[in-house]
A and B are shown apart, each in its own frame.
Chain A
Amino acid sequence: MTTTTTAYDAVASACDDVREGGPDDAVDGVPVGAVARPASTEQVAEVVRAAAARGLTVVPRGRGTKLTWALPPTSADVVVDLSAMDRVLDHAAGDLIVEAQAGTRLADVQATVGGAGQRLVLDETVRGASIGGTLATNASGPQRMLVGTARDLLIGITVVRADGVVARAGGRVVKNVAGYDLGKLMIGSYGTLAVVTEALFRLHPVPAVQRWVSVPVDTPDRAHQLAQAVVHGQTVPGALEVDWPAGGTGTLTVQYGGNPDGVEGRVATALSLLGAEAVVADETPAGWASYPWGAGETGVKLTFVLSGLRDVIEAAHEVGATVRGSAGTGVVHAALTDPAGLDVLRAVCGRHGGSAVVVDAPAEVKRSVDVWGPVPGLDLMRRVKDQFDAEHRLAPGRFVVSERRDLG
């Protein structure tokens, strides 16, 4: 049932834009039977229902910028390409909310809401990313420090279930505790629970001015001390980033946004905290809100409680990894040239209450390492998966966790 014609035939009449999968459609190396490009939630539901009727696997695709993240699916009979669902459906400026279809580029959302002096506080960490893909991968950047991540901004969601049923949760208001928060469950689920088709977010005002204060740091201990000084200080930073190239020395950067006088005062305080070598810039520094890994390298997301910063940087240094990310929240990304360093990073993050998850890596690396590592609550997750997708047809295998691992 996984032959090309079958997949194509199965969904060909489900929406107007269906074609056979070609070599360029492969999902992280996995061949695709058919690509359906629905234009509405209803059409997505039609496609998913048609696939369900034939027992076909379904892999959602937004703009394809992070398809190589997590493990490759074990099968991809039908790719649901959401790029035709690219509209901002509603921007209610007075209510500071925006509603968009899942395939809408984050940049396009920003352009729309930016006209009213507003922004969706999600960093575009990979150029061209869609909001659906950003949710599915729970991608985040420097701005997570002040307002958080997708889970703190998403207020409503529309999904298509594995059986093709359309469901909504949340709503158009920021404050809402009616029913379970299904939106959060979708964030970071890599398309394994349902296909996200529409999302509503809360917005924030664009600050009048922004400044970046950077300081070179030559030891992990120095970075640690300064980061602690900043987080326990009173300057209310919008971001606190560390950037530490493999084999080199690091930089800490604190970002401020707000009113002109306010920012000036906060920057002055920051300069006194960070010492004589600190400098102020009025433009985003190079590398800001981007991941450190390049082609062929292994990208790992490291999380830890703040008191672990020193040890994490030290460990990264030891295994020759570049690290970059939010020193203010304990979420950084590492680029490894030799994936053997993963175990060292995982151990140090584990000691500091966190985890090390391989985000993106060459196929052969993903085959040879434990991509996800220990996952607390795994049994409950399996039960959730079984309820939402009993036949395991949605992005199967993206999330594979070894049972040999300690789950605590």
Chain B
Amino acid sequence: MTTGTTGLAAVTARARELVPAAGVITDHARLRTYECDGLAHYRVTPALVVIPEDAAQLAGVVKACAEQGVPYVARGSGTGLSGGALPHAEGVLVVTSKMRSIREVCRADQRAVVEPGVINLDVTRAATPHGYYYAPDPSSQQVCSIGGNVAENSGGAHCLKYGFTTNHVIAADLVTPQGDLVTIGTAAPDAPGYDLLGTVVGSEGTLGVVTSATVRLTRLPEEVRTVLVGFQSTDAAGAAVSAIIAAGVLPAAIEMMDALAIEAAEAAVQCNYPEGAGAVLVIELDGAAVEVAEEYAEVERLCRENGSFEQRLATDPVERALIWKGRKSAFAAVGRISPDYIVQDGVIPRTALPEVLAAIAELSASTGVRVANVFHAGDGNLHPLVLFDETREGEAEAAEEVSGAILDLCIQHGGSITGEHGVGMDKAKYMPKMYDADDLDTMQLVRCAFDPDGISNPGKIFPTPRLCGEVPGRRKGAHPLVEAGVAEAF
């Protein structure tokens, strides 16, 4: 790759031709405001920031990057928690914050077409008057962008029942790393050919920049019941979760917080969770009113049988919001009880919950590093918050070690190093623990197909890039149409 000032100068010049002046940033002080995403301990100042207003401008800038061999990184709202939008020191940061129009909301088709910079919650706001919403709901939904969601395959509390971003995106426009604008997927389901979209969603900006997404809208449920349940211990709460799932109930959400996480949330937002609880569950049921009533009776009983000491059913939207406030503010709240913390995102099979939580507690006890647990209990996605104080010698390292050990636990139990925050910069080094060399090599075949020069968000996801090489042209048994040069054979 030929990077350096010449290439960059050419890209800058091209960007100035394409994008209005305010959207081309070269001033060092202003460049620095883009030096990190939500994972602030990784910082790199980009060489150039471009804020295009539409897909054509964006494609033009990427094309210039491709011609000059200059790397680029896409950025939405910069709330990512894995360093995915961490800039490249010699590259361009392409920011989608001026591409925020909701092009279409179609009730009849249960679809919306949005630009990548559109804020997640704004899709729901636009759909609500039609009786619909956009189901994937990351806790950051008031600020994060759809482009970022698509890149990270973001989840949220309600993904237990409704699935992740990948289950809700049906088509996208993509600027390829060659600077070409292509549509993948169709407005209708099951587009013919390979499921490129399924590969692009969750690819963390390494396969191109999404400039438009067609998303599925979900009918607002007739009834929602949210209940806050207090337990003496995480074991008891975990047993209740298993019992609910075993009974065949699929709640919209089951979230768990342990004592330390409750303490933090209480200090931050006075959510008034049950006093003395070793763990709380937030359980939400939704759907047809008659169905929800029946399921709720079952959930209430199963929690009681598994030792709940308090159950608080929200009776109106205000109470429901208060219950969720404690949960959704948990990450930030931990800042109240610890100056610094690492958010982990490991996943385990749900049945391994008691064992893994016990192991985390042991780890915490033996190292003296405090760990608060907030997680999507229904699908085993843990968010251990590993607490430390950077100003105190050795604490950051100790926290990093505990954090790594937790990921090892997840892998040992057949789980994943990341359930929704992505690999990014932060977890690339753990990828070889989860996948072997051949697995990683095979994934990178896709990278080579889309981005053979490796200029789209390089250094993320994969610890070592694959050399793409030339594709040999040997073919066997060509179809007559292909030999005649009028068709493409696969």
Contacts and interface: CB of A to CB of B under 8 A. Distances in A.
A266 B476 contact: no
Nearest to B204: A177
Interface string B448-486: 111000000000010000001001101111110110011
Given A259-B294, A390-B471, A177 B153 contact: yes
Contact of B450 (A182, A187, A306, A383): A383
Contacts of B416: 171, 173, 175-178
A403 interface: yes
Contact of A181 (B166, B193, B347, B435): B166
A57 B182 contact: no
A188 B439 CA distance: 21
B178 to A, nearest CB: 10
A178 B423 contact: yes
A279 interface: no
Contacts of A93: 246
Task: Name the residue among B194, B431, B435 with the largest chain A CB count within 10 angstroms.
Answer: B194
Contacts of B110: 231, 306
A138 interface: yes
B471 A386 contact: yes
A249 interface: no
A66 interface: no
Interface stretch (B33-41, B183-191, B310-318, B392-400): B183-191
Interface stretch (B44-52, B229-237, B336-344, B376-384): B376-384
B438 to A, nearest CB: 5
Given A234-B222, A236-B291, A92 B349 contact: yes
Given A234-B222, A236-B287, A380-B182, A166 B193 contact: no
A43 to B, nearest CB: 17
Contacts of B423: 177-179
A184 interface: yes
Given A178-B431, A376-B183, A140 B190 contact: yes
A355 B379 contact: no
Contact of B108 (A185, A208, A306): A306
Interface string A89-118: 000111111000000000000000000010
A180 B443 contact: yes
Contacts of A177: 152-153, 155, 164, 202, 416, 418-423
Task: Name the residue among A177, A185, A355 with the largest chain B CB count within 10 angstroms.
Answer: A177
A232 B219 contact: yes
Interface in A288-346: 301, 303-308, 329-331
A362 interface: no
Given A180-B199, A380-B449, A57 B476 contact: yes
B246 A353 contact: no
- Looking at chain B, what size class is its interface with the partner chain? 35 or more
B376 A175 contact: yes
Contacts of B188: 303-305, 308, 330-331, 349, 352-355
A179 B420 CA distance: 11
Nearest to A118: B248
A149 B190 contact: yes
A392 interface: yes
A397 B445 contact: no
A74 B471 contact: no
A380 B106 CA distance: 29
A168 B437 CA distance: 10
Interface string B217-257: 00101100000000000000000001001101110000000
Nearest to B474: A391
B351 interface: yes
A19 interface: no
B288 A306 contact: no
Contact of B248 (A206, A260, A261): A206
A172 B414 contact: yes
Interface in A179-230: 179-182, 184-185, 187-189, 192-193, 204-208, 228
A408 B422 CA distance: 31
Contact of A381 (B163, B196, B376, B434): B196
A260 B380 CA distance: 29
B192 interface: yes
Nearest to B196: A377
Nearest to A383: B449
Nearest to B108: A307
B61 interface: no
Contact of A393 (B203, B221, B476): B476
Interface string A369-408: 0001101111111111111101111001111111110001
B250 A205 contact: yes
Contacts of B260: none
B147 to A, nearest CB: 16
A387 B222 contact: no
A384 B295 contact: no
A168 B439 contact: yes
B419 A176 contact: yes
Interface residues of A, number: 114
Contacts of B152: 177
Contact of A353 (B187, B242, B438, B446): B187
Contacts of B155: 175, 177
Contacts of A205: 248-250
A96 B242 CA distance: 11
B435 to A, nearest CB: 6
Contact of B196 (A140, A175, A305, A384): A384
Contacts of B461: 179-180
Contacts of A378: 193, 488
A173 B190 CA distance: 24
Contacts of A75: 476-477
B414 A173 contact: yes
A357 interface: yes
B198 A185 contact: yes
B158 interface: no
Task: Name the residue among B190, B192, B479, B486 with the largest chain A CB count within 10 angstroms.
Answer: B192
A64 interface: no
Contacts of B193: 188, 372, 375-378, 381, 399, 401
Given A175-B347, A234-B221, A386-B471, A152 B295 contact: no
B487 A402 contact: yes
B190 to A, nearest CB: 5
A161 interface: yes
A258 interface: yes
A402 B153 CA distance: 33
A182 B476 contact: no
B213 to A, nearest CB: 15
A400 B490 contact: yes
A259 B291 contact: yes
A167 interface: yes
Contacts of B319: none
Task: Name the residue among A74, A75, A357 with the largest chain B CB count within 10 angstroms.
Answer: A74
Contacts of B379: 173-175
A305 B109 contact: yes
B487 A403 contact: yes
B291 A262 contact: yes
A87 interface: no
A80 to B, nearest CB: 16
B279 interface: no
B139 interface: no
Interface string B393-417: 0000000000000000000001111
20 contacts: A94-B350, A165-B441, A171-B416, A175-B380, A175-B420, A185-B195, A187-B195, A188-B190, A234-B221, A235-B288, A258-B291, A266-B290, A307-B109, A354-B188, A384-B194, A387-B446, A396-B477, A396-B489, A399-B489, A400-B482
- 8 closest A-B pairs by CB: A184-B198, A353-B187, A354-B188, A265-B290, A205-B248, A262-B291, A75-B477, A167-B442
Given A74-B476, A175-B376, A401-B193, 9 more contacts: A166-B438, A177-B202, A179-B461, A185-B446, A228-B108, A234-B221, A353-B186, A399-B489, A402-B487
